[in-house]
Amino acid sequence: MIKPVEVIRLSATVVAGFGRGGKQLGCPTANMCPKDLGDALHDTPTGIYCGWATVDGQGPYMAVASVGWNPTFKNTEKTIEPHLLHTFESDFYGSKINLVLCGYIRPELPFTTLDDLIAAIQSDIALSRKWLETEEAEALKDEAFLAQY
């Protein structure tokens, strides 16, 4: 079950990540530049969220985002990695992404197998699609912040 949260607004350039999202997990992510995020990187509580994103002012697109340390992979750096629920023709490294997080799905969890992690990601995506279609969540896709470019 998704819990509505006070809206978290984040903006950053898309940078290359660890190369796991699309290749290992079948879920490509638009990794947000830690330097661009500044204090927001450290101030945003860890967990799996959903919300809306724009890329260079295009969208909004439904998004599911991992905020934290990716405990399955034992990362040493905190990251914010949104997966946009849209099929893009190509990578968009260097683009500006605006992200509005409005729903909390679950805490970060370590998984013992990649199959378990992939199953959890697919469940997060399905829950997010359904919740983001609610009136409450849909209203946030028109936020002025998302249109900033």
> Are 8 and 80 a contacting pair, CB within 8 Å?
no
Q: Which of 77, 81, 89, 108 is catalytic?
A: 81
Q: Could you tell me the CA-to-CA distances from 82 to 38, 67, 112, 121 in Å, in that order?
A: 17, 8, 22, 12
136 is catalytic: no
Q: Could you tell me the CA-to-CA distances from 103 to 5, 45, 73, 90, 128 in Å, in that order?
A: 5, 12, 24, 28, 8
Catalytic residue numbers read: 81
